[in-house]
């Protein structure tokens, strides 16, 4: 079992007490390790991310709500935590799994250690896990529910295993309702052109990508009606990323369908790609283990171009179910799954990846400009 790369905090002469942690999966497997972050027991869907950097962005991404995140890169925490990298106001993951935890970060922007930050926000973590073996299991058997427990004293692994086997899939709930903004917020209100952002768990990077292009951005809750959206006289609407099964968002799907009847330019991102597809009459399905990381290659249909993209999703659009007038826009070069759709004549587009990156490559940032060219 691997141990954290450092267990002493700065200015301490003795090691803090080592806490025990146990990760139990719904298939009955159990992983024991060293606890960090908060002492707590949490449940969630266990997923993995292949990014080498960007852990603060991933941890604060609302799309990870109700998930226990495993990092495949072996060393995490070495550059600490900087609030400038946050994609929301706090950690959104349920729990965290790493191979080696660095508790003495070295970076000019670091404000605190990863362990301290997670403890302050009530998020438990487990280190010393063979994350390669765990990732291989999830790739073979698919992502699954699990329980993560961190405690000062001994844990009953057998009892946790039994609880995990009976755990409920968090995707059966409307997770978007738990992360959307509770109120309407307006950014850059004096700008001449208005865009509405349907917040299904929007990342800060999406908001900044739109605001810096000089628009007035109206951020609305995910269940906002089309009539309320249209009352702002927007030039277009963006459907954001978010967690869970898109079919759990019937109010959002209905509103987007109504906006389409008004021919309002629409741009969907991540979960927004799936919601636009459902509003158009297509279908979605759950991927075996999803795409989570900053290295996903996407081919643009009808061109020789391949873009490296940042992604975080567990569901996908069934491209074969797209109705007449719609076509695939991007395809994942690794597994052939859909990465974007567009209408052939009307101003509706969406992508499964994140053009704002945060973290990751900015190869597709230009898609915001394409959308705004069509927005009135």
Q: Which residues are catalytic?
A: 270, 354, 356
Which tokens go with 24?
Answer: 């139990």
Pairing of strands 144-151, 236-239: unpaired
Q: How many residues does the chain have?
A: 376
Structure tokens at 302: 């009808």
Residue 359 DSSP symbol? S
240: which DSSP letter?
-
* Six token digits for residue 164: 């995990």
Task: State yes or no: cis peptide before 359, omega within 30 of 0.
Answer: yes
Contact 111, 84 (CB under 8 A): no
Contact indicator for 158, 22 with CB cutoff of 8 Å: no
Tokens 């070069």 belong to residue? 333
Tokens in use for 46?
A: 């266990």
* Secondary structure element (H or E) that encloses residue 362, with its range: none
What does the buried/exposed string (b/e) look like for 227-240 if buried means 16 or more CB atoms within 10 Å of the residue's CB?
eebbebebbbbbbb
- Cα three-residue angle 218-222-224, rounded to 5 degrees: 70
How many other β-carbons are positioned within 10 Å of the β-carbon of residue 89?
Answer: 10
In this structure, are strands 124-127 and 95-97 parallel, antiparallel, or unpaired? parallel
- CA 269, 271, 276, 277 dihedral sign is positive
The DSSP output letter for 135 is: H
DSSP string, 79-111: T-B-GGG-SSSS---SEEE-SEE-SS---TT--
* Token code pair at residue 196: 């509405």
């Amino acid at each position: 079992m691997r141990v954290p790369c450092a267990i002493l905090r700065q200015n301490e002469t003795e090691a803090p007490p080592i806490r025990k942690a146990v990760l139990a999966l719904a298939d009955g497997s159990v992983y024991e390790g060293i606890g960090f972050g908060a002492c707590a027991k949490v449940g969630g869907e266990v997923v993995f991310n292949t990014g080498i950097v960007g852990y603060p962005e991933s941890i604060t991404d609302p799309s990870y709500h109700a998930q226990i995140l495993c990092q495949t890169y072996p060393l995490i925490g070495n550059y600490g935590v900087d609030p400038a990298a946050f994609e929301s106001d706090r950690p959104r993951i349920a729990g965290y799994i790493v191979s080696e935890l660095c508790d003495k970060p070295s970076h000019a922007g670091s404000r605190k250690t990863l362990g301290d930050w997670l403890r302050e926000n009530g998020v438990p973590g487990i280190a010393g896990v063979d994350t390669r073996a765990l990732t291989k299991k999830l790739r073979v058997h698919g992502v699954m529910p699990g329980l993560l427990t961190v405690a000062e004293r001994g844990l009953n692994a057998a009892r946790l295993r039994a609880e995990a086997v009976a755990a409920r899939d968090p995707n059966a709930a409307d997770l978007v309702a738990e992360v959307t903004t509770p109120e309407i917020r307006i950014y850059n209100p004096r700008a001449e052109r208005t865009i509405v952002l349907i917040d299904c768990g929007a990342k800060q990077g999406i908001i900044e990508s739109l605001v810096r292009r000089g628009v007035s951005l109206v951020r609305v809750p995910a269940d906002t009606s089309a009539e309320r959206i249209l009352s702002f006289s927007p030039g277009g609407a963006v459907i954001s990323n978010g967690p869970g099964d898109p079919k759990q968002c019937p109010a959002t799907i209905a509103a987007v369908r109504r906006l389409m009847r008004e021919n309002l330019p629409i741009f969907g991102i991540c979960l927004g790609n799936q919601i636009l597809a459902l509003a158009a009459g297509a279908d979605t399905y759950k991927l075996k283990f999803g795409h989570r990381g900053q290295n996903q290659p996407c081919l643009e249909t009808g061109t020789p171009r391949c873009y490296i993209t940042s992604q975080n999703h567990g569901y996908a659009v069934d491209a074969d179910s797209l109705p007449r007038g719609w076509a695939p826009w991007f395809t994942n070069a690794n597994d052939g799954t859909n990465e974007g759709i567009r209408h052939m004549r009307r101003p509706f587009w969406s992508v499964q990846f994140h053009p704002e990156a945060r973290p990751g490559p900015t190869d597709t940032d230009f898609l915001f400009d394409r959308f705004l060219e069509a927005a009135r």
